[in-house]
Structure 1
Amino acid sequence: MDIHEYQAKDLLTRFGVQVPRGGIAYSPEQAVYRASELSGDKWVVKAQIHSGARGKAGGVRICSSEEEVSDAATWMLGRKLVTHQTGPQGKLVSRLYVEEATSIAHEIYLGFVMDRKLERVVVVASAQGGMEIEEISEQEPESIIRSVVDPAVGMQAFQAREIAFSLGLEPPLIAQAVKTIMGCYRLMAEMDANMVEVNPMVVTQAGEIVALDAKVSFDDNALFRRPEIAELRDKSQEDTRETYAEDRGLSYIGLDGEIGCIVNGAGLAMATLDMIKMSGGEPANFLDVGGGASPERVLKSFKAVLNDPNVEAILVNIFAGINRCDWIAEGVVLAMKELELTLPVVVRLSGTNVEEGRKVLDDSGLPVITADTLAEAADSVVGAWKDAKFKEAS
């Protein structure tokens, strides 16, 4: 789960990380009021969306008057901001963060990420801040600093000092840098975060280290024990298809194709997507229905898949172990009747109670296309989808 910049900064301050003063605004009038509260003669108006590269899309503006603050807020609010991370659909700007401008002397990149391969938190830093880490790796690979944290003891002060010295900071700044690095790590460890990124972390003209921007992502599986974090969720920034499925306990990732997939097991689901592409189609989603799926859960899966208006055919691919093919078949029949489906549905069943499952489908009298193998199922659903497209065009 991602959160907004202003929420991330609020959390960072709890762990001793210094951030610029600022306030949230939902209208141009409120943005101007926030600027007047902060005083000064220069402010930064930032669109709050779950995406990087906001500045390049016009979502971050430096303003020198209250009139400019109002104009910037008017332009941003209600607009769908399109960045290279949002895709062409963009993300709606419904709130702004107005903060005091910072006089920057130097920018630094600082990130904490969970390395699944190492099973460790890895600190990534660079003296070349202000860019995405991918750009830094490509343009300044020698500037990348990495430090692995031992989970048995956590982040140690000497590691933070090593990172600070490697960044080329002046001696008077080392203590501030250590405090910032340790604070970011504590946030990640104590709040079940997957990633904490401060980019840029800046050295100001006044000789202070400040987190100028921040991104924090959390482990969805740990939200049950972090209700205060779960409350920060903004569903308007998420893929509506994925939100719908997640709220119903389904593992779903939306894609850009036309063939919906309902599969059990992540590995089989990935193989199914590959086979659809090899057969000439494009999958619309990844969906793992899970083990022990009841007919009602299968119905929920159909609804989640059909929540995508681009879906024009559905492939159900089940290799039953914990699952039972007859339950899956009953769910397919229930879904086709209740949802009155007219698009092609291909079902491939294998494993526990497979004969009973096939009998359920055969006795239903519904136009379900069955297949014995994954390759056959992929060819069948792509062929049925193309036939349906041809008939529609004709």
Structure 2
Amino acid sequence: MATTSYLDLNRCSRPLPPSLSSLSACPCRPSAVTLPRSRAKLGGLDFSIDVARPVVGLGPTRGFLGRHRRRLIAAVARADPDHLPDGNAKQVLGVHKGHELSVNEDAVAENQEKASQLKKRIVFGLGIGLSIGIVVLAGGWVFTTVVAAAVFVGAREYFELVRSRGITAGMTPPPRYVSRVCSVICALMPLLTLYRGQIDVSVTSAAFLVAMALHLQRGNPRFAQLSSTMFGLFYCGYLPCFWVKLRCGLAAPALNTGIGASWPILLGGQAQWTVGLVATLISFSSIIAADTYAFMGGKAFGRTPLTSVSPKKTWEGTIAGLCGCIATTVVLSKIFCWPKSLLSAIAFGILNFFGSVFGDLTESMIKRDAGVKDSGSLIPGHGGILDRVDSYIFTGALAYSFVKTFLPLYGV
């Protein structure tokens, strides 16, 4: 229980009301206001306010009452308004109404800000989606260059997260020059994948050079430096290369796709529609559907938390995302006539969904340890590159393995 008898009702430059004019000769000085004893609860505390004797009010910035006087006065007015003197009641209730008006204004401003952020998120999301669709259709060097640029920015964001205060409290980050070199190496990996087809030797050589640089640095090298750097090469460089292998490496024509037959010659004709293009479009679309349905399902029905790594995700939203992902994959498989069987389309949708979910959770885990909400601020309303592509990082490798290995083996 907290008790007090200090109320500051009249520290301002305006004259006092007539009912309180006798309490102070100067309107700019703290005045003594006589109020009866009253009790009120504020923030879980039970206040016994005894203002039966006049006391000099505290200033607006002193102590607990200085910081919370509006809420405290409003609580007194609500607790026992009948016992307040007329003049004091008017002043107290006036303060209470002013406080409610301020709260309402803050709520309106907050809602407007949220609406603005949502509008910005939708506009930029549509713009990004349209641009990515054009890039995927173009393929070749256009697609690979965009992937390389995204990989470079994502690698920079990753190493900034590794160097953040939240993570460095428990580990030693790699030197800054190593982080920058690794970002450049990650950006070169998609280009080498397009040129050579395979990057195993390149990745192994890069890992060896980075490990050697860490061992030769000044001071004592730490295992945390090596592990975080190697994971950065794998997470930001190696895994995204599978999208290049999927889109550009699987060049067999999708003969059964009806869209290819009517595709303009100037845009590549039927040869433009390869298995890699169809698989990439279906995979991208199913990931977007999974995120959208999971968000809508979580908002509408979400009750059970999925994991502590991402508290906003729920089981209900996850199930909705899985159903939306499978449905989108099946519908697109009918449109593109690939894959042929319903079973393979469902399997492809499930694979895309789990790849997107665990990619999202992995990035959430990194951000949680770093103590940040977003990986960056490059995209207005969306955060950083990693915040937008986290669902795609693991999915490319899974989709490529499915199309390259699973479908030919089992013929489904």
TM-score category of the 2 structures, normalised to the smaller one: under 0.3
Question: If each structure's helix is expressed as a fraction of its own residues, which one has the higher value?
Answer: 2
TM-score by length of 2: 0.21
Question: If each structure's strand is expressed as a fraction of its own residues, which one has the higher value?
Answer: 1
Which is greater in Rg? 2
TM-score by length of 1: 0.22
